[in-house]
Structure 1
Amino acid sequence: MLGLTSRARLARQFQPAADHGFFGPDSVTWKVWGHPTSYILGFARSVTIEHFDPHLAAAVVQSGGVKYRPSTRYGRTLRYFALVAFGATEETARAADVLVKVHSKAVGNDPVTGSVYDANRGSSQLWIHMTAWHSILYCYETFGPGPLTAAEEEQFWAECARAAELTTADVSTVPRSREEVRAYFEEWRPRLAASEAAQDMIRFILDIQVALPVGMPSWQKQALRPLTWVMSKGVVSTYPRHLRELAGLRQGPVTDALVRWPNKAIVSVLARSMNLRLAVFSMLAPQALPVAAPALLAIPPQSPVTMTPREAQEAYGLAVPSEAHHDLRAKQRRRVLEDGAAPSDEGLVESQALIGSMDVRQPAVLG
């Protein structure tokens, strides 16, 4: 946990990034993703709404990772999102590449739809991408400073499309305006479902206490219970009615209204204190802190360069994600779908150096 100190002293605790990554300090991405609404409320909204895709829910439930190591799963996922938003170009491009290997494990038969799920499928990756970027902006508007200007919002969605170059999604299909985003989610609506297993996962993640460090004393967790309860209810207050019904969540407009102001108050306190923001970040996602802190503290990078993901992939000799590691992906599909065996762990150990440790006792250890 970071101690109380000046911003200059805080800055000395972190190494400068190699470069400005894919966006930089003048981007709307840094403005929105760097706000305190992102790493609790927006992130929790994103990773719960993802589960309304039955294919994603099947992959998460069958892997079991969220249930047996929720804090490191939370931290690793948040670190990856932090890399996309703030990370240096080479580190982030390599993390996206290794994530294709990790996702090659997530293939199998979906018991809800009866079809095959594959986490590297472009449409699945776009669903994850859009729920993240939409949720981060929605919570920024709802609990933070409010709506962006028209020009800022246009830039935000353009940057969202740029970030999609780090996924296996077809970038030409990424929505680029609020109207296109609404149409995208409306198009997805008939495909959404929530099995008992998916509902269980949503409720499990909505208990934000699961993201707290494993070693935190129980009295501290109990002391934080009122805050995490309010935040959880705040996340649900952003769900549209049809998603609440799918999830079996019984939260009405009165509760929505009652939890809105305390969540705004929590966010306001965090926004005014960099010490507190980084302390909470360190507690919830120590893996992500070294990535986000240099941007939040305006630490000059070693180079002021920015690139697009495609430029970075070419510069560092990496394949476009949709074209990467086809041999491994085919091998994993044969193991699971033809041989009935468990997928291999190729890529998983390698990912720890880039995305964070899976050891719940040392979640911040990176190679």
Structure 2
Amino acid sequence: MNPEATAPRAADPGLFGPDSVTWQLHGDPVMWIAGVRALYLQALHPRAVRGVMINSDFRKDAWGRLLRTANFVGTISYGTADAAEAAGARVRKIHRLLGVDDPELLLWVHCAEIDSYLNVARRSGIPLTDAQADRYVDEHRTSARLVGLDPDRTPADTDELDAYFVAVRPELAAGEDARVVDDFLRRPPIPPLLVPARAVIWRHVAALAYDTLPPYAHELYGRPAPPPETVTHRLVATANALRSIPARLRWRLPPGHILNAMARLGPATRPAPFKLHRQAAILDGPGRAQQLSDGGDSTRWRRPG
């Protein structure tokens, strides 16, 4: 009998795996705030948001759309490679059928998401070095491929990501469609019994997501934001409050990607942002790699001394 035929197959780590920045970052609850920020930012591209308005019923099925997006991100972050590839194939098929597979628009959506995830994570106190931030952007050339983009034409580090936003800035505007998205995010339709929760919880989340946008976005929307240091302080406080909810309780929410990944790969693969601080000394080189992010700090992960 062939020994290789009877040997157990190694568990599939997926497209990123436990050693990636993505693995440690995407399990943090602050990613929900980052996701709302991404929606605000994406709405500022008139052609991109027009495609959403024409082809989507997000106003009637807003929560379903948000959960489907979260499911996609969870699948490509923590699912098996086969599951991630299948999810990407479904997205590409939908884009083709709806005629929204223009690479220029897909690139805008991708960059707005990655910038939002990275910006909010760092400002919330997660200790990403500059080298780790670059690695995160590079990792997500994989997610760019899944939605139909050419990875070689997608930003590979934070400098390239910043350059992309400088180049695209003249195309951005807060037109009628963006105003609809803004109004929706501030007051999403919900059942009457949940109206108090919207006033107390969602309004705070949406306002914080808006406040973390870059200054040019505030100018386009025509609503000022508090000073950056005030926003960062509120973001850190909110993020740490969310992190105080036991992770295993948070991760039980459907569809349970992280718990499934830990069951597949073992408890040592549990994602935790503080692991990034430990990895920096091992994985990063000198110079820029050793610099801490200046985008926010948290007593939970502050470097001692």
Q: Same fold (TM over 0.5)?
A: yes
Distance in 1, Cα, partners of 2:250 & 2:236: 14
Cα deviation for residue 230 of structure 1 reads 1.9
Distance in 1, Cα, partners of 2:171 & 2:198: 37
Preserved contact between residue 251 and residue 258 of structure 2 (Cα < 8 Å) = no
Identity %: 25
Q: Residues 243 and 132 (structure 1 numbering): CA distance in 2 closer, same or farther, change over 3 Å?
A: same
Distance in 1, Cα, partners of 2:106 & 2:58: 18
Name the counterpart of 1:138. Answer: 119
Preserved contact between residue 154 and residue 177 of structure 1 (Cα < 8 Å) = yes
The one of 248, 251, 256 equivalent to 1:290 is 256
The one of 39, 63, 66 equivalent to 1:74 is 66
Name the amino acid aligned to 2:130.
A
Name the counterpart of 1:51. Answer: 43
What are the ranges of 5 or more consecutive residues in structure 1 without an aligned counterpart? 1-17, 108-118, 303-367
Name the counterpart of 2:277. Answer: none
Correspondence 1:184 to 2:164: yes
Q: Residues 87 and 268 (structure 1 numbering): CA distance in 2 closer, same or farther, change over 3 Å?
A: same
Preserved contact between residue 121 and residue 168 of structure 1 (Cα < 8 Å) = no
Q: Which runs of 4+ in 1 moved over 4 A?
A: 256-260
Query: Paired residues, what number?
Result: 256
Task: Please show how residues 1-367 of structure 1 align to structure 2 within 5 Å.
Answer: 19-38=12-31, 40-107=32-99, 119-146=100-127, 148-207=128-187, 218=193, 220-223=194-197, 225-248=199-222, 250-254=223-227, 258=230, 260-272=232-244, 273-278=246-251, 282=253, 286=254, 289-295=255-261, 298-301=262-265
Name the amino acid aligned to 1:253.
P
Preserved contact between residue 44 and residue 172 of structure 2 (Cα < 8 Å) = yes
Q: Residues 290 and 181 (structure 1 numbering): CA distance in 2 closer, same or farther, change over 3 Å?
A: same
Report the secondary structure of 2:264's partner residue. Answer: coil
Cα deviation for residue 192 of structure 1 reads 1.3
**TM-score where L is the length of structure 1:** 0.64
Q: Residues 105 and 162 (structure 1 numbering): CA distance in 2 closer, same or farther, change over 3 Å?
A: closer
Cα deviation for residue 76 of structure 1 reads 0.7
Name the amino acid aligned to 1:99.
V
Preserved contact between residue 234 and residue 259 of structure 1 (Cα < 8 Å) = yes
Q: CA RMSD in A?
A: 2.5
Report the secondary structure of 2:37's partner residue. Answer: helix
Cα deviation for residue 184 of structure 1 reads 0.6
Preserved contact between residue 61 and residue 198 of structure 1 (Cα < 8 Å) = no
Cα deviation for residue 259 of structure 1 reads 5.2
Q: Residues 228 and 47 (structure 1 numbering): CA distance in 2 closer, same or farther, change over 3 Å?
A: same
Preserved contact between residue 251 and residue 259 of structure 2 (Cα < 8 Å) = yes
What are the ranges of 5 or more consecutive residues in structure 2 without an aligned counterpart? 1-10, 267-305
Cα deviation for residue 136 of structure 1 reads 0.6
Cα deviation for residue 70 of structure 1 reads 0.5
Name the amino acid aligned to 1:60.
V
**TM-score where L is the length of structure 2:** 0.76
Query: Which one is further off, 48-57 or 263-272?
Result: 263-272
